[in-house]
Amino acid sequence: MSFVCTSIYRVSPLSVLQAFSECAAETSRRRVFTNGRSISTARAPTRKATIQGRVATRSRSSCQEYDARYPRSNPIRFIHQSVRMKHRAFVALGSNLGDRVAMIEQACNEMDRTGKIGVLRTSSLWETKAMYVLDQDKFVNGVCEVETSLSPIELLDELQGIENKMGRVKVIDKGPRNIDLDIVLYDNETFLNDRLQIPHKLMLEREFVLRPLCELVPNHSLPPHVDLPAGSFQYQLSHFPKSHDPLSPLTPLAPGLANIASRDPKRKTHVMSILNVTPDSFSDGGKHFNISSPQLADTIRSHIASGATILDLGGQSTRPGAPQVSSTEELERVLPAIEAIKSIPEADGVAISVDTYRADVAEAAIKAGAHIVNDVSAGLLDENMLPTVARLGATVCLMHMRGTPETMNSLTSYPDGVIPGVAGELLERLKAAEEAGIRRWRIILDPGIGFAKNQEQNLELLRGLDKLRRWPGLEGFPWLIGASRKAFVGRITGVTEARERVWGTAAAVTAAVQGGADVVRVHDVKEMAQVARMADAIWRN
């Protein structure tokens, strides 16, 4: 289809493609969808038409409107994509058969593989009771934002092809299904024929659609000419009837281990045990270094029996001044520990985490059987980390830190306060993770107690954890707190020897649970598991 660009643009030597993209976007508002076919019109329609299908009407092109609302950090990359992928859509994701999270992740990957659909961002995943047909298992639901070169009906065909490829068999309407992909929004347009209606006619009565949408585009509204209530999605959600069983986003940890439900007021705190296989970690260096396989297996069994649900393996110390070993040496320390855990029957249903900031170590560990990447730098110390985690589909913990372990103690200035500072910088890392392709439901956050923080800042983070949990853009994520045996605990309690800081650590763990932590990372597993259970009984029962 040929077109004439009627707008005037300033074109720099580097932006010929940008000018072409903008012209294409300009013409995209001059389109009428008639049973899925696109035809060019002389001018953009200004009112709803009824030529079999509905008219796409908007005051700005989809790309211009999208860019104004969500500016990109890499415009050159987006220019190239916008020539090919000029439409934005939101696709509802659902599953209540089999491994529900795995089914949704497979569907997202299948969309990316088409070359015609690209997943830009995902919401959290929410576990919900079935609607309409009540006698079936709970669903896992979410929404993804995609860019596409397809028309609405072509997009529908592609999504249904993915459902068929994944083995969906429709027995009854709104009944059980391993995967369900629905187009809820497409640009700022409406569409109606015997196969498809956009916006989705039931979207405003479904909390499991509204909540994910509010994570992505809370201030977005439906096109003004649709026969649905007006107002932003956040407004619609705020007027939704209060549920007796509030929804909570979920974060998968490992097969056989319950997902984290970060908004469930009765959730149990996960205990992550620290298993450093290094000679030089700050409080237990050498304890588990070069020990025999039977000794390591006994330690692992002891941690699990004491209440650990996550085992965090570290092969490189991050204490200030610690020498940096090679990736090869780090792996020589970590991989045998993973193998030992995998060989122990008691470890079934326990998550294995690798504490590393190196992408190659993370990849080898995940392929060996680890489930979580715990990166103290949130991808800052290795530019390949976030794309690697995205490709592997692993859960990742993004911790706040500045500089390196050698320089971080000199980087403790937060002019607006430590909580706003940490929140703002974590938002940047969260954006980088999503742009790398990491799904929102695969992310855990950590404020980085003891990393580029002084004593008072560490205490303020423990006091203000609930503020971080509710910070705009950070809501719904699970949080990990690691204050175990830290130096500030020793200074406050007067305990010089790190391994003797049990009581001070216990107080910090209690504060973390009260503030809403989902995971506490500890050395003294038996004692801190008891503290966490008691704190759960006080604040989460």
Report the pLDDT averaged over residues 81-105: 86
pLDDT at site 45: 33
Report the pLDDT averaged over residues 179-188: 94
CA pair distance 527, 488, nearest whole angstrom: 20
Report the pLDDT averaged over residues 299-315: 96
Residue 26 to residues 19, 20, 87, 133, 147, Cα–Cα distance (Å): 10, 10, 12, 44, 17
Residue positions annotated with a catalytic role:
486, 521
Residue 387 to residues 9, 276, 425, Cα–Cα distance (Å): 35, 26, 19
Show the tokens assigned to 341.
């855990």
Write the DSSP symbol of residue 346.
G
Which among 289, 297, 313 has a CA at the least distance from the CA of 370?
A: 313
Q: pLDDT by residue (tens digit) across 32-54?
A: 343 444 433 333 333 333 333 43
Give burial (CB, 10 Å; 0-12/13-18/19+) of 208. Answer: buried
Give burial (CB, 10 Å; 0-12/13-18/19+) of 34. Answer: middle
147 or 2, greater pLDDT: 147
Decide: helix, strand or coil at residue 264. Answer: coil
CA pair distance 236, 204, nearest whole angstrom: 7
Asked if pLDDT for residue 453 goes beyond 90, the answer is yes
13 or 433, greater pLDDT: 433
Q: pLDDT by residue (tens digit) across 260-280?
A: 999 999 999 999 999 998 875
pLDDT at site 231: 87
Show the tokens assigned to 135.
């006698």
Query: Between β-strands 270-276 and 260-261, what pairing exists: parallel, antiparallel or unpaired?
Result: unpaired
Asked if pLDDT for residue 527 goes beyond 60, the answer is yes
pLDDT at site 77: 33
Decide: helix, strand or coil at residue 237. Answer: helix
pLDDT at site 36: 41
Q: For the ranges 56-70, 153-167, 507-521, which has the lowest average pLDDT?
A: 56-70
Confidence of residue 405 (pLDDT cuts 50, 70, 90): confident
Asked if pLDDT for residue 307 goes beyond 60, the answer is yes
Write the DSSP symbol of residue 464.
T
pLDDT at site 135: 62
Confidence of residue 138 (pLDDT cuts 50, 70, 90): confident
Q: For the ranges 33-42, 331-340, 465-474, 490-499, which has the lowest average pLDDT?
A: 33-42
Helix intervals (H) in 39-99: 62-69, 75-84
Report the pLDDT averaged over residues 10-35: 39
Confidence of residue 245 (pLDDT cuts 50, 70, 90): confident
Asked if pLDDT for residue 347 goes beyond 50, the answer is yes
CA 259 to chain CA centroid, Å, is 14
Determine the length of the chain.
Answer: 541
- E strands present in 98-204: 117-122, 125-128, 139-148, 180-186, 191-192, 197-198
Report the pLDDT averaged over residues 506-517: 98
pLDDT at site 55: 36
207 or 502, greater pLDDT: 502
Which among 190, 174, 208 has a CA at the least distance from the CA of 92?
A: 208
Residue 452 to residues 206, 247, 408, Cα–Cα distance (Å): 43, 35, 5
Confidence of residue 82 (pLDDT cuts 50, 70, 90): very low
Chain position carrying tokens 């008072």:
456
pLDDT at site 136: 65
Q: Which helix (H) or strand (E) holds 206?
A: none
412 or 43, greater pLDDT: 412
Residues of the chain with pLDDT > 90, as a percent, come to 66
Residues of the chain with pLDDT > 70, as a percent, come to 79
Report the pLDDT averaged over residues 414-439: 97
- E strands present in 187-240: 191-192, 197-198
> What does pLDDT average to over the chain?
84
Phi, psi (rounded to 5 degrees) for 201: -65, -20
Could you tell me which residues come within 8 angstroms of residue 401 by beta carbon, excluding any fewer than 6 positions away? 376, 377, 378, 380, 408, 448, 451, 452
pLDDT at site 280: 53
pLDDT at site 239: 86
pLDDT at site 240: 83
Asked if pLDDT for residue 73 goes beyond 50, the answer is no
pLDDT at site 84: 63
Confidence of residue 501 (pLDDT cuts 50, 70, 90): very high
Report the pLDDT averaged over residues 394-417: 94
